[in-house]
Amino acid sequence: MKALLIGIVTGFIATAQASEPIKIVAAENFYGDVAEQIGANHVIVTSVLNNPDQDPHIFEASPSIISSLQSASMIIVNGAGYDAWMTKLIPESRKPDLLDVASLTHKSKGDNPHLWYDVDVISQTADEIALRLMAKDPDHKVEYAENRDRFQRTLQALKLHISTSAEKIRGLPVTASEPVFGYMAEALRLDMRNKAFQLAILNNAEPSVSDIIAFEDDLKRKKVRAFLYNSQVSSPTVSKLKALAEKNHIPTVGVSETEPANTKYQDWMTFQIDALIKALLQ
């Protein structure tokens, strides 16, 4: 009898909440941003990683995140091992509402996990978010479709900017402390050097002596036109290389893992691309 009563009560609450905003928890703020641009005022988005001073690779979730996961209607994670700290916190009951971007875009552990630097990944994620919002809240279906289409048009403009930029900088040799910008560097047709070094830094491993020597040689002999570093992750090895780049007058360009405050994904990417082009063509 008691169980039946609870069933009726929760059933009633679920119906009453149908017009309430949809709660979305995103592991990283760039996915939260995409969800917000598509859901607009019909969603409430909480992004777990939203502080540019945090190092996402060594992040530990707090108890308040666990409770927000309990009540979320959609949970977005990057996947591919990048935010395993989040995936393991998701209760079994919430798994059907999980959107794993890596699985969606057929990426897996071992691939460069900085998937959001691939505009096509963001485009597919936006389509999926829109579909799920339409299914959860059919009353606002038209609005979600319009927001999605508008968002996709801005991504098309970004892709055009990338391909026009590639015409100016294609083939130029650059190096980076870690592969955060990897997919974008590929789209810009840059010649990315020292990939083995970057992989070691990504995996919190010590790069091999020969990889460090090769990196230093690139800087000393000015074989690269720019040095990209992750402004959110630091290590003594990387700081030393950055100083060496500066000493040899090689422009250094900071890129970030998470989205800076008060910006949009499209603007963030454009800003970083333009800073790099400026450094390369100076």
Calpha distance 54→65 (Å, rounded)? 16
269 binds Zn ion (CB under 5 A): no
Listed in sequence order, the residues at least 6 apart from 47 whose beta carbon sits closer than 8 Å to its beta carbon are 25, 26, 27, 28, 29, 31, 32, 33
Q: Which stretch binds Zn ion (CB under 5 A): 102-110, 139-147, 175-183, 190-198?
A: 175-183
75 binds Zn ion (CB under 5 A): no
Q: Which stretch binds Zn ion (CB under 5 A): 101-109, 118-126, 140-148, 172-180?
A: 172-180
Given candidates 49, 77, 180, 200, which one binds Zn ion under the rule CB under 5 A?
180
**Positions in 237-256 near Zn ion (CB under 5 A):** none
280 binds Zn ion (CB under 5 A): no
CA torsion, ordered 269, 274, 279, 282, to nearest 10 deg: 170
Q: CA neighbours within 13 Å on the CB side: how many for 232? A: 21
How far is the CA of 84 from the CAs of 88, 90, 113, 147, 211, in angstroms?
6, 10, 12, 30, 28
Q: Which stretch binds Zn ion (CB under 5 A): 5-13, 58-66, 90-98, 173-181?
A: 173-181
Shortest Cβ distance from residue 257 to Zn ion (Å)?
A: 5
Nearer to Zn ion, 121 or 180 (CB): 180
Nearer to Zn ion, 257 or 259 (CB): 257
- Residue ranges binding Zn ion (CB under 5 A): 180, 257
